[in-house]
Chains A and B, each alone.
Chain A
Amino acid sequence: MPTAYTPGLRVTADVTLRKERRLPLAGEVLVKDGDRVAADTIVARANIPGLVHPIKVSEVFDVHATEIGKFVVRQVGDAVQAGDVIASQKAMFGLFKTEVKAPVDGTVDNIDTTAGYVGIREYPKPIEVNAYVAGHIVETIPQEGVIVETRGAFIQGIFGVGGEQLGELKVPVARHDAILEPGQLELTMAGDIVVCGATATPALLKRAAEVGLAGVIVGAIEDEALRELVGYNIGVAITGQEDVPFSLICTEGFGSLPIADRTFELFQHLQGKLTSINGATQIRAGVIRPEIIVPDLQALASGAGPAAEEVVQQELVPGARVRVIREPYFGRLATVTELPSELQVIDTGARVRVARVAVNGEVVTVPRANLEIIQE
């Protein structure tokens, strides 16, 4: 039987991580193996070729495609500015002139006598990739990028929006189930990544944008508040490219859910440290979850080796700590007491594999598919 439960999200105080930092196309790598890098160190750079604007010159002059060479006044490779004449035709003994002008700044990319076009290519746009996390380079991929190794805390969220951000971690809430008031976000928090409690109201998100936070971390978010933040209904769970003022990461789900105890305690412990976050989420094959990485700068500076191997609990066994991830016990923490091997009929009438779990001293039956193992 395939495993019928969700392996938990990782929440760990000390782990060695590697991050691949690749350019979207061939370019130049600016660092070398062994280099120490800060999160904002530029590690690779490339130029994205500009867009080509095809102009149908044969149509403008009403000539056959093969004849456009007679009228084009520039060569392939010539630099042009928007408004420069690239082809012209005189008529009526030179009294009238028809001209074709470059629509953008760029270079002449091609003169096509098959279809009658001249293509103007915009100038390339530079693109840079930073290290994202503090650490050191363990591998360079020629013309493509690098692999950065870091050591520190690593927390996976369940859903997020917005891309990579860097900032200082702040935890202004005292409890994992508290909800931050907008007024508690102060202007001094500009550029910070702030743990805001069990949920974020639209008013809080508005205040976060006014203050200029780099990131917001919450247990959950009401779908309505998310829609107000991104400006539309997110259809497919592939995020990270939204035009949002800060990145948002939910550790538990949608609605209002306390941040898991252990996760919250770790945030409190990491308060004040430089933190890298990425809200990008992809829930498909090749799943990507949002992440919070807090490099241990002391361990990195002292040249301490990699963190001890983490033992990842993969099996659902009696005694395992789990979180229920669907109604009617959604969000509750529990301990597995029994794993009946026979299929059981649940309230819906479906026959499924179940687990018996203790929730606050009460033993209840839950489909195994609705359990997430807590990594301890």
Chain B
Amino acid sequence: MADISRIVATDCGSTTTKAILIDRVNGSYRLVARGEAPTTVEAPFDDVTVGVINSVAELEELTHSSLRTDSRVAVPRNDKGGADLYVSTSSAGGGLQMLCSGVVKAMTAESAQRAALGAGAIVIDVLSVDDGRADFEKITRIRSIRPDMILMSGGTDGGTVNHLLDMAVLLRSADPHPRLGRGYRLPVIYAGNRDARDKVLAILKDTVDVRFVDNLRPVLERENLGPAREAIHDLFLEHVMAQAPGYDKLSGWVSAEIMPTPMAVGEMVQLAARELKTTVLAVDIGGATTDIFSTFADTFNRTVSANLGLSYSVSNVLAEAGVENIARWLPMPISDGEIRNRLRNKMIRPTTIPQTMEDLLIEQAVAREALRLAFAHHKSLAVGLKGIQTQRTIADVFAQTATGQTLVNMMDLGLIIGSGGVLSHAPARWQAALMMMDAFQPEGVTHLAVDSIFMMPHLGVLSRVNPEAAHEVFVKDCLISLGTCVAPVGEGKPGQPALKFVLSGPGIPSVSEELKVGDLRRLDLPVGTTAELVLHPARGMDVGAGRGHTVHAKAEGGVVGLIFDCRGRPLALPLDPDTRRRALQLWLDAMRTEKGEAERVHL
């Protein structure tokens, strides 16, 4: 590749188009500026490139440089300016909406769902032969939703074809139509038993546009999601993008194919896990949806909780979590009715921001519940393959392990990355750290970070063409290290011993303390510092080596520092409202960084 020193990347979101400019400074790639403008896929503009140009114009203003010629991003660079590389992602127009089908709900249908989610889709329904719905209900459902495409799976290669034909008949009976564009047939990706291809085509050829890819579950013991994901991506570009206003033009500008925003974030999460050699859990909590990405057991998983968000979907968090679960995070008394009305008002005026501490606490309480619910959803889908035969040892019999268990093991987790307004733009960084600790309940020793300005999508698409630049900017400018959380697993009565620790390291005064159940303790540990920790959990407490066993670990510094969370795992809040509010207030006070984050005080 030619010498690349100036890169423009945009992310066309459903409401805002965000542009970043990356320059090579002294041999390393760094973020130089960020600009944004409203997305313009609707009237009167009907052209996504208008928003792109407006956001790039803001980069030009901020950097006093020229990036455009002839009303487009100039690539390659010329005498008048421009960039060496221009890449873009998009979730405008509601993103990629898919319907998945399989034969068995817990097997092929679930694999199809994972394939679609990993390709950046929002899965609007999953049909299977055993999903409990009558045929006419399934047909009515297929008719009522208008997906961008359908992923059809089922059966292992060489297995029975009958159930697949049944599903094909259902699809034909429903005669589904695409969400965008009237002039083409709905694309259906067939990734099921290859022996059924001819018959499925015979049934569906007059109704939909069928594409064949390798079976995503060729044998029960193995998933093969790659070909289906590639086909989804190709069809996304070919159909969904082609129908969105201005995308044909934008496709002509970019140096690499436009990628769905969540897929790009997924690329970046996987790159981070590889480069940092750790297990990563990343979350993007937005106004309408919450996406969670993870790499537990070296398996990439992504889930979208389509209606868990903090503005458009805030009332759905209220409906799913219940007002009592939101109220339990509030250190002040407030009536349920008042909470409900305030959240409804946020829903109908989604761009407003909290002005009072009380309002901020309510918003952060809802964020905890949205994250908790989205993570529960993630755990249910990030699972091992179900239905496979495993050889069991006598130990397994005692442990009662089963196939299809969640891959999520919080003790193995190395890094949590938070992004989305409520985390990236929390008035104080410690608030972001506490929200993630309360919602995800990390165990043992876990590094916490936030995406400074939500540029993981930009870096994800960039990683496809220039992984070096993507990695450098990710580490130096994207991730803001909050610090390290140490959380013993176990339950105990408040006041009982929980953990003794010894902290040391080059230039770090040695600190030794004993903490009790219920304690939350924060110490300053500056960004870029790595401390040595010796952790002696109390009997019944585990920090990674088993109950009561000592662990030697490293702690990464951050703007919040080092946090010892001895509130117990699972975290159980006091049931009595007054006791709970007092405890919450104590924990908030314990986390507060007294001298502000700008002044990072060495121990």
Contacts and interface: CB of A to CB of B under 8 A. Distances in A.
Interface of A: 2, 4, 6, 49, 51-54, 56, 65, 109-110, 112, 114-117, 119, 158-159, 222-224, 226, 233-237, 253-255, 281, 283-286, 325-328, 330, 346-350, 352, 366-367, 369-370, 372
A51 B36 CA distance: 47
Contact of B345 (A65, A110, A330): A330
Contact of B140 (A51, A65, A328, A366): A51
Contacts of A6: 349, 351-352
21 contacts: A2-B16, A49-B175, A51-B136, A51-B173, A56-B166, A115-B169, A115-B203, A158-B348, A233-B315, A233-B318, A236-B316, A237-B315, A254-B342, A254-B345, A283-B312, A284-B288, A327-B358, A327-B359, A349-B427, A367-B352, A370-B352
A347 B357 contact: yes
B220 interface: no
Interface in B419-472: 425, 427-428
A369 B350 contact: no
Given A2-B37, A235-B315, A286-B42, A254 B202 contact: no
B341 interface: yes
Interface string B562-598: 0000000000000000000000000000000000000
Contacts of B394: none
B355 A366 contact: yes
Contacts of B183: none
A235 B316 contact: yes
Interface of B is mostly: helix
B166 A348 contact: no
B11 to A, nearest CB: 15
A105 to B, nearest CB: 14
A348 B354 contact: yes
Interface in B349-379: 349-360
Given A223-B344, A326-B345, A327-B342, A369 B169 contact: no
Given A2-B16, A286-B42, 8 more contacts: A2-B36, A6-B352, A51-B143, A110-B172, A114-B202, A255-B341, A366-B355, A370-B355
Q: Which 4 A-B pairs have the closest CB atoms?
A: A235-B316, A349-B427, A52-B173, A254-B344
Contact of B353 (A235, A236, A330, A352): A352
Contacts of B166: 56, 115
Nearest to A346: B355
B492 to A, nearest CB: 34
B31 interface: no
Interface of A is mostly: loop
B341 A54 contact: no
A11 to B, nearest CB: 16
Contacts of A116: 165
Q: Report the interface size class on chain B.
A: 35 or more
A369 B135 contact: no
B352 A369 contact: yes
A235 B341 CA distance: 13
Nearest to A364: B355
B435 to A, nearest CB: 14
Nearest to A115: B165
Nearest to A226: B344
B446 to A, nearest CB: 25
A115 B345 contact: no
A166 B262 CA distance: 44
Nearest to B363: A348
Contact of B169 (A117, A327, A352): A117
A157 to B, nearest CB: 10
A285 B94 contact: yes
Given A51-B136, A235-B315, A325 B359 contact: no
A328 B355 contact: yes
B237 interface: no
B312 A237 contact: yes
A369 B320 CA distance: 28
A283 B42 contact: no
A283 B348 contact: yes
Interface string B159-180: 0000001101110111100000
A325 B349 contact: yes
Contact of A369 (B168, B343, B353, B359): B353
Contacts of A117: 169
Contacts of A328: 355-356
B38 interface: yes
Given A283-B347, A350-B425, A224 B337 contact: yes
A330 B338 CA distance: 13
A115 B163 CA distance: 9
Contacts of B342: 254, 327
A96 to B, nearest CB: 26
